[in-house]
Structure 1
């Protein structure tokens, strides 16, 4: 048994080139992932100790997983435990490395002669490799993966699970690509792994994502690369060369913290014609909160007090905070048109329709005079989503939540279909 002051560790479940995994005796279903100071290349053909690498890698992984989790991606990560270790859900790992590429470089060029370095993949290029050091991690096809008939933690890895991992890899890459773009850094390619959570039986992003996992080119310039490729490219491993590699890893671990910071602050201001619409407006506010967007509720009538409506508008325009106005007015929507005609900020109509006159009332939101650009969205949740899409153009954290939400909706449909098929058989 191994023990620490904070945690009681059980048996070592696994040990790789750069980490060890221990069970947690007092926390069933959780493990401790302990990083090592070792750096390797070419399936450990080259192997060196880099003092401080464990802390750097753990810091990077913890920030990356926090970003992904806050966006809404399901991962095994629970929390950072120490400078060199984090706690995660116990997973049985699927022995596949999923590789996602935006720019052609590295081994792809060797396997695809004639393609020039820098070729940009749109859509992203997906590849998978079977984890087998003895055979240098051979590339696999989807058919090989399906024919392997892996069964892990009681879950058979079939077409549904393969599709989920494929779609998730793309979403995870796009989220991290968007985040790194805020630092003027190109995410060139990335490898990730999935596991089956032994408790929930779900396929989740697992293992680590650190500077061994990707290629990063500041300003899109390969000569400035900050990833492990610098170590791979060393002709001779000297103390000076290793210090250069370490500085690059430290650069990434410092920058990755910035990925958690919003690039712009914005807000939604909901204007309702009457407090009778409060329940409708609260739904908008709750949905905005799910995207991390502040939302303020106000009461004003463009028919009964147009001067007050315009005064409220001016107050929000005057402080310089990017704002999306949502007009909630039912019987005769004057709020949306008046706001749209007097502000350059986006205005969304979200009328609360009633069973009696709703079909007629909605026309006051749909038929606008010329020169007005307000849109109309009937669902309060959809109005908040539309506002989030506007803010997502300048705030990567909001965009990441939208992207993860798209993925989660797709996965839920995929799993529902799998369950229905199982019931029909």
Structure 2
């Protein structure tokens, strides 16, 4: 444990096939997750030592959780501590593996004879497995999970919690699927686990996500698979075969870093007719920043200085950076329509509606001459979201933030409903 000298490591809390969990004495609520060099298959019926696997697995997990947290997914991950360990929130683990499938393969084919390998699930296929090594992790239904009446860290696992885990699994898969697609890799299926944070009693993505957790097919080609299935398929475990497996794991750990990067860029340029609209525009800018999109604020009037408006437009068209223009103009909005009629870039009207003439003023944004395609969105947050959806078509990091935001909105409603029902009883 030389790599953990700067932490006050306490007792071992748990040990699995590929990792150990230690308490951190002077940091209550946190644990150290230490990876091992062991690789297993078939509930450890086959197990071998693979030198360097701990570092590879830890690197992969840290990058994956970094991407998910940057997107907005709630996880137990706190920070990478060393080459082979990371710090996480202490969770009581829910003894369920959530398996999400895009492509039919592996055990699914054995359990569903007649389905051909490669069958594509749209929507995703969800499966639940109870973690019980003695019985080979039997498949469960949602009803069995509900009837188990688990209580972990003081939280009863009921319908609300099961629904949250189910929805979260789909969102997590879709985020990672989108990210891996940038590397021309098909995320075929994956398994994840959730825990209950002992301090907050909140369900979070926990455990690890590494190359043991999924199937990855470069170019969608099973023969090029880079995941643990290569190890499972070995007829004989030889030093040469283990080197091949290790090279595949290293291939994944190197490319997983690229999932945190994006070659696509873009910006939002907010044009306001007057600085009296600055507060409205600042809301747009703040919302853009939550999606990682740069936002520039400019002042120009299409009525009072159309030549300057078109000059500013040309300035942002001339450097090749993909741009969405947002026109903020009250009263008679000429700004958005003039921009839309003179640029091929998207234009969004976001007029600040006032209580006196707002109901009349909004028509200048809605009733446009033919040949103009600017949309009108009254909410500053929604205008930024729409711009993010445009950029999300080519920027997976923006798309991932949007997908996580959808999940978090849904979870917020689910939790609010649960609390309201509890108050009504």
Q: TM-score if structure 2 supplies the norm length?
A: 0.99
- 8 A contact 2:3–2:82 mirrored in 1: no
User: 1:390-417 CA deviation, whole Å, 9 max, x = no partner?
Assistant: 0000000000000000000000000000
Q: CA deviation at 1:4?
A: 3.4
Output the CA distance in 2 between the equivalents of 1:133 and 1:319.
Answer: 59
Using the TM superposition, give the Cα deviation of residue 2 of structure 1 relative to its aligned residue in structure 2, in angstroms: 9.7
Helix, strand or coil: the match of 1:47?
A: strand
Cα deviation for residue 60 of structure 1 reads 0.1
> What is the CA deviation profile of residues 182-219 of structure 1, one whole-angstrom value per residue up to 9, with x for unaligned ones?
00000000000000000000000000000000000000
Give the C-alpha shift of residue 263 in structure 1. 3.1
- Separation of aligned partners in 2, 1:407 and 1:14: 31
Give the whole-Å Cα distance in 1 for the aligned partners of 2:378 and 2:16.
53
Q: Is the 8 A contact 2:4 2:82 kept in 1?
A: no
Q: Does structure 2 retain, via aligned residues, the 8 Å contact 1:2–1:9?
A: no
* Deviation by residue 1:272-313 (Cα, 9 ceiling, x = unmatched): 000000000000000000000000000000000000000000
Question: Root-mean-square deviation (CA), in Å?
Answer: 0.9
Give how far 1:372 is off: 0.2
Show the counterpart of 1:238.
238
Q: Is the CA contact (8 Å cut-off) linking 1:283 and 1:381 kept in structure 2? A: yes
CA distance, structure 2, for counterparts of residue 407 and residue 3 of structure 1: 37
Unaligned runs of 5+ in 1: none
**Contact 1:271 1:298 (C-alpha < 8 Å) held by counterparts:** yes
- Tell me which residue corresponds to 2:130: 130
* Offset of residue 3 of structure 1: 9.2
Query: 1:3-23: CA deviations, max 9, x gaps?
Result: 932101111000000000000
SS at match of 2:170: helix
Q: Is the 2:60–2:210 Cα contact (8 Å) retained in structure 1?
A: yes
Counterpart CA distance in 2 for 1:207 and 1:330 is 51
Q: Would the aligned equivalents of 1:275 and 1:299 in 2 still touch at CA under 8 Å?
A: yes
Post-superposition Cα deviations, 1:357-388, rounded to whole Å, max 9, x if no partner, equal: 00000000000000000000000000000000
C-alpha separation in 1, matches of 2:161 and 2:220: 34
Structure 2: 5+ residue runs without aligned partners?
none
* Alpha carbons 1:2, 1:8 under 8 Å: kept: no
Q: Give 3-state SS (helix, strand or coil) of 1:3's partner.
A: helix
Q: Is the 8 A contact 2:377 2:383 kept in 1?
A: yes
Deviations 1:220-262 (A, max 9, x none): 0000000000000000000000000000000000000000002
Rate the CA distance shift 1:189–1:3 in 2: closer, same or farther, 3 A: closer
Whether the aligned pair in 2 keeps the contact of 1:263 and 1:396 (CA below 8 Å) is no
Q: Secondary structure at the match of 1:187?
A: strand
- Deviating above 4 A after TM superposition, structure 1's stretches of 4 or more consecutive aligned residues are none
Q: Is it true that 1:18 corresponds to 2:18 in the alignment?
A: yes
Alignment partners' CA distance in 2, 1:364 and 1:6 = 64
- 2:144 aligned residue: 144
Q: Would you say the 8 A contact 1:326–1:350 is kept in 2?
A: yes
